[in-house]
Amino acid sequence: MNLPGLAVRNIYRNPVRLALTIAGVAVALLTFVTLRTAVMSWDEAKNYTLKDRLVTRHKVTFVMDLPKNYADDVRDLKGADGKPLIRASTFLNWFGGKDPAHENDFFATIAADHTTFLTVYDEIKIPDDQLKAFNETRNGAVVGDLLAAKFNWKVGDNITLESPIFGARENGEPWAFKIVGLYSTTSKAVDRLTFYFRWDYMNDGVRAEAKDRVGWIASRSVDAAHAAEVTAAIDKRFDDADTQTLTQDEATFFQGFMGMVSSVLAIMSYLSYIILAILGLILANAISMSVRERTNEYASMKAIGFHAKTLASLILTESTLIALAGAIPGVILSYLIVDVALGDFLEYNLANFFPVFRVKIWTYAEAVAAATVIGLLAGIVPALTVARLNVVENLRRVA
Amino acid sequence: MSAEQSKSVGSAISIKGVVKEFTRGGQTLRVLDSLDLNVPEGSFEALMGPSGSGKSTLLNLIAGLDKPTSGEITVAGARLDKMSDAEITAWRAANVGIVFQSYNLLPVLTALENVELPLLLHKMSSAERKKRAQIALDIVGLSDRMGHYPRMLSGGQEQRVAIARAIVNDPKVIIGDEPTGDLDRNSADEILKLFEQLNRELGKTIIMVTHDPEAAERATVIRRLNKGVLA
């Protein structure tokens, strides 16, 4: 028997309280790990964007469109030395399509210029024969392999979509597409859950005032190291035009596009620390109750010759051990729920937001370290109380 | 221990002019009034007196659990009134064994582990601690109950474990605070026999507070305290 052994024995005195405390710590840590992982995954999404890929949109808002000829102007932009600044560019429109058969399932539908699209998004891979079919089929669409699997779509399927943005086709016919290919990607910068179709098919069907308008222009700068100068040069090109532009690198554009979610994640970040505070209160309550019930024993131990410091250490060991006892199931639960179950679900269904949703080793370490430190802090007040305990009064002797 | 400690040769406990006052509700209450006491080494003394007479206060001062308002207290050669709290705590661990009325054993520890408890304060191997605790339990006649938890023992057995815990450090002085107060007559008799044995065979100085005249009769000296003054 030794003092840490005595601390362990004390922990097991009240099994029900111990189980509830461990459960409380485990759930608090699970919540902490979930929130931290969400925040970190969001940040990580930026890491998959390309530094040389630039996005040009209307200066006022993403919702407003640009003249199509801007795409030519961007592609032809040259530096002061006369050399090209852009090595590839394309243009796209957000279509906002919905499949009436899957009314409640969101997926991105984007009209892309099929002649230039893959020069800018070269991480998208389409088999040659399917790419050939895409180029030859005006209403052809290529969809992410994960999206196809989700809706059980196959090459050759005919799909009809509705667009709340553009309404029906100008001729009154529905927006009918033929799936001619399935794409995969070599990078997480592009999700595998988007429905791409030819921009010219969209342009054919929209009302006269929406024709030859593009949602945004995506381009690749010749030199990634000078992307900032190129974005400024693009916007400067349209400074005196009726419609001014805002060009950003892909990471900034991505963040701006998801601005509202970003605020939510900032709140989640704060919440994760609030969870730690709650964890501290759970532990402090459990330790305080346990120590208060044993005041007499601590008084006896002091009378036997135990120093205040020794007893304080005993209590701090106890509180830290309880925190660690909760941290272990907390980490296991986090792995099973966040890393395995939630990770698979989010990466599959919300790849745009969370291309990688996995708990980092660092987050586990952070959770265990936080539990340890909080366990220690939670024991401080009870430890001080016992250290200052008046032996005579607490032995309850009456003279 | 501090350099100011002095020896009182022949005396296990020497108290000179000790005053102990408590302040309650703004009023100062003098519990011990210029008390003098000399307990020779190897004696077995009983301290009696009505409730509120100051006997437990005196016992707390002798054990170093409390400090006098004024006066000198020398126990096992150490001037307790001159020592810091930390010094007294360390001194108490080595020199005094305390037996409480309500045993105060730790319920999560076995009899053997409860007896080992004071030895954790000393640098000693686990095997040595265990050996000493076994000897102490053997002395109190509980070598067959070493693995029992307090809840598995009778009141008398619990008190014997508490006595084993008190003697395991081989202290010079054993202090009993109503050690038979919670026990029936037979169990009390066993405890008192044990005290006599510790006094007679191991030469321990024992001072015991009791309300029980029969228990007091077993001591070699009976002292009576009344209103903070020894009769």
Q: What is the pLDDT along chain A (399 residues), one digit of tens a residue?
A: 888 899 999 999 899 999 999 999 999 999 999 999 988 887 776 777 778 899 999 999 888 999 999 999 999 999 888 899 999 999 999 999 988 887 778 889 999 999 999 999 999 999 999 999 999 999 999 999 989 998 999 999 999 999 988 888 888 899 999 999 999 988 877 788 899 999 999 999 999 888 999 999 999 999 888 888 899 999 999 999 989 999 998 877 776 666 666 677 788 888 989 999 999 999 999 999 999 999 989 999 999 999 999 999 999 999 999 999 999 999 999 999 998 888 888 877 777 667 788 899 999 999 999 999 999 999 999 999 999 988 888 875 433
The distance from CA B223 to its chain's CA centroid, rounded to whole angstroms, is 16
Do A75 and A207 lie in a common domain?
A: yes
Q: CA-CA distance, A255 to A264, in Å (whole number)?
A: 13
- B212: CB partners within 8 A, 6+ apart: B180, B181, B188
User: How far apart, in Å, are the Cα atoms of B71 and each of A101, B7, B48, B155?
Assistant: 96, 16, 22, 38
pLDDT of residue B119 exceeding 70, the answer is yes
Do A195 and A302 lie in a common domain?
A: no
pLDDT of residue B109 exceeding 80, the answer is yes
Burial class (CB in 10 A: 0-12, 13-18, 19+), A243: middle
Nearest to A303 among B51, B65, B107 (CB): B65
- Quick one: average pLDDT of B103-132? 93
pLDDT per position as a tens digit, B89-102: 989 988 999 998 88
Cβ atoms of A96 and A165 within 8 Å: the answer is yes
- Measure in Å the smallest separation between the Cα of B50 and chain A Cα atoms: 9
Q: Which residues pair with A181 in a beta bridge?
A: A142
Q: Given CB atoms, is A18 within the 8 Å cutoff of chain B?
A: no
Q: CA-CA distance, A195 to A179, in Å (whole number)?
A: 9
Q: CA-CA distance, A360 to A330, in Å (whole number)?
A: 15
Cβ atoms of A202 and A116 within 8 Å: the answer is no
In a 13 Å sphere around the CA of A239, the CA atoms on its Cβ side amount to: 7
Name the residue ranges covered by the structural domains of chain B. Answer: 41-66+82-226
Cβ atoms of B163 and B172 within 8 Å: the answer is no
Final residue before a domain boundary, out of A215, A243, A271? A243
Do A229 and A271 lie in a common domain?
A: no
Q: Which CATH number fits domain B41-66+82-226: 3.40.50.300, 3.40.640.10, 3.40.50.720, 3.90.1150.10?
A: 3.40.50.300
pLDDT per position as a tens digit, B125-139: 999 999 999 999 999
Q: Which residues pair with A88 in a beta bridge?
A: A220
- Quick one: average pLDDT of B8-21? 85
- Per the domain annotation, does A251 fall within a domain? no
Nearest residue in chain A measured CA to CA from B32: A399
Do A67 and A143 lie in a common domain?
A: yes
Do A276 and A336 lie in a common domain?
A: yes
Mutation target to probe the A interface, by most A beta carbons within 10 A, among B51, B59, B87, B89 is: B89
Range of the domain at A340: 3-47+260-394
Do A289 and A365 lie in a common domain?
A: yes
Do A283 and A220 lie in a common domain?
A: no
Which pLDDT value is given to residue B5?
Answer: 40
Do A212 and A65 lie in a common domain?
A: yes
Q: CA-CA distance, B182 to B154, in Å (whole number)?
A: 11
Dihedral-angle region of residue A367 (phi above 0 means left; psi in -120 to 50 means alpha; beta otherwise): alpha
Please tell me what DSSP assigns to residue A338. I
Hey, which residues 126-145 in chain B have their CB within 8 Å of chain A?
126, 129
Please tell me what DSSP assigns to residue A342. I
Q: Given CB atoms, is B179 within the 8 Å cutoff of chain A?
A: no
Rg (alpha carbons) of chain A, rounded to whole number: 31
Do A292 and A184 lie in a common domain?
A: no
Do A21 and A153 lie in a common domain?
A: no
- Per the domain annotation, does A248 fall within a domain? no
Contact check, Cβ <8 Å, A399/B66: no
pLDDT of residue B2 exceeding 80, the answer is no
Do A184 and A236 lie in a common domain?
A: yes
- Per the domain annotation, does A202 fall within a domain? yes
Do A374 and A325 lie in a common domain?
A: yes
Q: Which of B18, B34, B20, B44 has the alpha carbon at shortest distance from B175?
A: B44
* Backbone torsions φ then ψ of A336, nearest 5 degrees: -70, -45
Give how many domains chain A has, as a whole number.
2
- Per the domain annotation, does A364 fall within a domain? yes
Cβ atoms of B221 and B43 within 8 Å: the answer is yes
SS3 B107: coil
pLDDT of residue B22 exceeding 80, the answer is yes
ipTM: 0.87
Q: CA-CA distance, A10 to A301, in Å (whole number)?
A: 14
Q: Which of A119, A75, A71, A77 has the alpha carbon at shortest distance from A92?
A: A71
